[in-house]
Amino acid sequence: MAEHVFFPDKPPKPLQIKYDGLLYDGGNWDQFPIRYGWKLETGAEKFPRRAIPKKFHSGIASWLYFGMLHYVFGDKLDQSDFLLCREEGPQQYITTKHLHKYIDDAKEWKKKKLGERAVDIVKKVCEQLSVYGNYYVQDDMSLAIRLVCYVLWDIAVKRDGPQTQTSHVRLWMFTGENETKRMVAEGWCPLDAAKCRVAGGGVDTPAYLLQLMRVKAEWNTITHESCTNTECVANNVDESDYVTRHVQEDCTCSHLQSNVEQLHTILRDGGVPLLMITPSGEDKLGDQTFKIEIVRKRVGKQYLAISHVWSDGLGNTQGNSLPHCQLKLLYEEARRVLTGGEYVPRYEGGPFGPLHTGAARLAHFAGSQALRRDDSVLLWIDTLCIPHQPDVRSLAIQRIREVYVDAYRTMILDSEMRHVSTSSTTHLELLLRVLHCSGWMRRLWTLQEGLAAKSRLYVLFSDKAVNIATIADELLTKLDRGKLPIMQERIANFAMGVWFTFFKHTIDSTSKFERFVSLVASPFEKSDITKDQLIRWNWFNVATRATSKAADRPIILAGILNLDVKVILEVKGSDERMRKFYSLIDNFPQGVLFQPGPRFEEEGMRWAMKVCQYTKEIQYLSGGPGKITPRGLQITLYPSWLFSSQKYQIVIPQERLTLRG
């Protein structure tokens, strides 16, 4: 029923919201409860608030939905435009596929002052939802009502300027528990649904996501049944029964093995090993064969870094090898991204746009010419470039950030994204699928990889790889030029905001998206971002990412903040690594005092969380920096009282502060 969020396209899997009620009678909206009979002539309630007879319930839904539309559009409204009957039976469903007819004409909107009526009725409807919504309006119908409220309000803001939101408007127009429950019921991860709600997006975003057709590989039987609203465990792997997959399930090709001794030599010598893949001829069936070598990363040699989720089958728990078919795929995609004409960098807008574009194209051309002289490609993938022997493995992990910072391009391999075609999918849908559907966005290690790659991050879809930052740039260009459908603008803004929370202050400064981010952030951040601000931002990023090993979280936190990962790797266990992490920083956001979860118990550390992970609900760290001292976290911004320890005892049971004399 929420077809409008895809207009002019059709949603892959339309929401179905049944409607068996009456059409609106066309009379005065405020007097409808009296006409219909659940209020007295005086306007007083005829029945107790929670005991209105069932025969009136459908009238309440009609009043709030069709009555709202009639209030704005008057006699022009054809209520049948918002009802749909399917061929298989008489059942009616709510539809918004014709909503655009009523709001497309901006001149008529202004002339008839429809914005004033829209704002007025949205305030009224949201207020009545607070009165009747939880008792007499079914969740599906409530979603339909709120979606129309959101559209009308948003268009009024766009065409008539900012509007003052009442508390009821704020309550009902944004993603709530009903939408998150529906997402979970339809197979979405509870954590993804919770992030959608906590991020503060409008009700239109979950409506968009719920209408996407999720497509997975046949072998992928992963579900989110064991996940919670604070943790996704769907992509966690059990190393004891891990399966390295082929490109096709029926393939039985042999593995190609990295030279482990060469890996050890390069790492112990302070270098970073890369994989060089070179065509070596053809097999008996005429298929191309390849050989692989381990070489040292050198300045000026372009290479592609691979970022992937191990549960997709591109890892190997037994050794440093991958099937020949997977290496063939990596070779073909790496060569395409590193040398292809369609991947020449370009920057739009601004006085230095042509200059940046020219310099980037020159670098791309030089690198591609070098590759064309030699058929081999250089890439880095953990499966083949991180050895299993603990001491050299530690050296490789310490240099992961360097790998992705120095890579010419980074390519995301995600099994669900590999089933999405860019040629038949809008840029908005591509961005939302990466943000909300990919396993890559849920994993811990890929966070550091993505942040280091910045705007050089490409996602491999079914037909080609696409630079995800370019998608954001092009969406912003369409917004600037008014080329994006008006009912998708807020969804696009929210999606780019979510992408911004992931890449805060790491995106290429020549990107239009970065300029948009700077414009949004500038009223609040006048100076360069500080380390404690980075901690506050990335604590959320790390805490909402999944990993099979809690001891990995301090490693990623340190890597993101460009701290010395080596000293964290030198200690074992999650608790000790977190202690070491805190010892490497001087300040920590004061809001940690109000975060639920296990803490250290020793003197001076009782303020500190034992693990960067949420236990009850996800929430952003707040507050300014507190100073880490041997006695504890020194804070200055919260009011407090000082009592004699001999006379009073402070007890904090279950996070509630109680004063006892």
Q: What is the per-residue pLDDT across 304-335, written as a single tens digit (0 to 9) for each? A: 999 999 999 999 999 999 999 999 999 999 99
> Is residue 141 in some structural domain?
yes
| Per-residue pLDDT at 454 | 79
Q: Out of 372, 398, 413, pick the residue that ends a domain.
A: 413
Q: Is the pLDDT of residue 147 over 90?
A: yes
In the structure, what pLDDT confidence band is assigned to residue 90 with cuts at 50, 70 and 90?
Answer: confident
Q: Are 409 and 508 in contact (CB under 8 A)?
A: no
Q: Out of 413, 441, 469, pick the residue that ends a domain.
A: 413
In the structure, what pLDDT confidence band is assigned to residue 299 with cuts at 50, 70 and 90?
Answer: very high
d(CA 349, CA 361) in angstroms, rounded, equals 16
pLDDT digits (tens, 9 = 90+) for 381-402: 999 999 999 999 999 999 999 9
Q: Is the pLDDT of residue 576 over 60?
A: yes
Of residues 27, 205, 14, the one with CA closest to residue 96: 14
Of residues 355, 360, 348, the one with CA closest to residue 515: 348
d(CA 466, CA 486) in angstroms, rounded, equals 25
Answer yes or no: do 153 and 258 share one domain: no
Answer yes or no: do 264 and 153 share one domain: no
> Is residue 84 in some structural domain?
yes
| Per-residue pLDDT at 525 | 36
Residue at 197: amino acid letter: R
The lowest-confidence range among 405-409, 414-418, 621-625 is 621-625
d(CA 392, CA 341) in angstroms, rounded, equals 38
Answer yes or no: do 393 and 275 share one domain: yes
Residue 612 is encoded by which pair of tokens?
A: 């960067």
| Per-residue pLDDT at 528 | 56
The lowest-confidence range among 74-83, 125-134, 511-520, 604-613 is 511-520
In the structure, what pLDDT confidence band is assigned to residue 80 with cuts at 50, 70 and 90?
Answer: very high
Strand partners, 649: 660
Q: Out of 367, 397, 413, pick the residue that ends a domain.
A: 413
Residue at 516: amino acid letter: F
Q: Is the pLDDT of residue 248 over 50?
A: yes
In the structure, what pLDDT confidence band is assigned to residue 656 with cuts at 50, 70 and 90?
Answer: very low
More confident residue, 616 or 364: 616
More confident residue, 659 or 57: 57
> Is residue 384 in some structural domain?
yes
| Per-residue pLDDT at 361 | 52
- pTM value is 0.86
E-state strands within 388-506:
409-413, 457-460, 465-467
d(CA 415, CA 234) in angstroms, rounded, equals 14
Answer yes or no: do 19 and 149 share one domain: yes
The residue segments making up the domain with residue 280 are 249-413
Answer yes or no: do 280 and 374 share one domain: yes
Q: Is the pLDDT of residue 409 over 60?
A: yes
In the structure, what pLDDT confidence band is assigned to residue 532 with cuts at 50, 70 and 90?
Answer: confident
> Is residue 520 in some structural domain?
no
Q: Is the pLDDT of residue 368 over 60?
A: no
Answer yes or no: do 152 and 260 share one domain: no
Q: Is the pLDDT of residue 520 over 60?
A: no
In the structure, what pLDDT confidence band is assigned to residue 524 with cuts at 50, 70 and 90?
Answer: very low
pLDDT digits (tens, 9 = 90+) for 94-118: 999 999 999 999 999 999 999 999 9
The percent of residues in the chain predicted with pLDDT above 90, rounded, is 67
Q: Is the pLDDT of residue 585 over 90?
A: yes
Answer yes or no: do 395 and 255 share one domain: yes
DSSP state of 129: I
d(CA 402, CA 380) in angstroms, rounded, equals 11
In the structure, what pLDDT confidence band is assigned to residue 453 with cuts at 50, 70 and 90?
Answer: confident
Give start and end residues of each alpha helix (H) in 55-212: 57-73, 100-103, 106-111, 114-128, 134-136, 139-160, 167-172, 177-185, 190-198, 204-210
In the structure, what pLDDT confidence band is assigned to residue 494 with cuts at 50, 70 and 90?
Answer: confident
> Is residue 402 in some structural domain?
yes
Q: Is the pLDDT of residue 194 over 50?
A: yes
| Per-residue pLDDT at 208 | 94
Residue 433 is encoded by which pair of tokens?
A: 């699928």
For Cα atoms 195, 197, 202, give the angle at the middle one, nearest 5 degrees: 125
> Is residue 649 in some structural domain?
no
The percent of residues in the chain predicted with pLDDT above 70, rounded, is 87
Answer yes or no: do 271 and 403 share one domain: yes
Strand partners, 18: 93
pLDDT digits (tens, 9 = 90+) for 334-354: 999 999 877 765 544 444 445
**Which residue shows structure tokens 């891990």?**
242
Q: Is the pLDDT of residue 293 over 90?
A: yes
Of residues 452, 412, 453, the one with CA closest to residue 435: 412
Answer yes or no: do 295 and 159 share one domain: no
> Is residue 224 in some structural domain?
no
Q: What is the DSSP string of 199-250?
A: TT-BTHHHHHHHTS-----TT-----TT--SS---TT---GGG--PPPSSTT
Answer yes or no: do 309 and 406 share one domain: yes
DSSP state of 97: T
In the structure, what pLDDT confidence band is assigned to residue 367 with cuts at 50, 70 and 90?
Answer: low
The lowest-confidence range among 122-136, 203-217, 557-571, 645-659 is 645-659
| Per-residue pLDDT at 30 | 96
Chain CA centroid to CA 181, Å: 18
**How many domains are contained in the chain?**
3
Helices (H) and strands (E) in the chain, counts: 26, 16
| Per-residue pLDDT at 352 | 42
d(CA 433, CA 216) in angstroms, rounded, equals 13
Answer yes or no: do 166 and 266 share one domain: no
| Per-residue pLDDT at 644 | 62
d(CA 194, CA 228) in angstroms, rounded, equals 9
Answer yes or no: do 409 and 542 share one domain: no
Query: What count of other Cβ atoms lies within 10 Å of the Cβ of residue 71?
Result: 21
In the structure, what pLDDT confidence band is assigned to residue 462 with cuts at 50, 70 and 90?
Answer: very high
> Is residue 77 in some structural domain?
yes
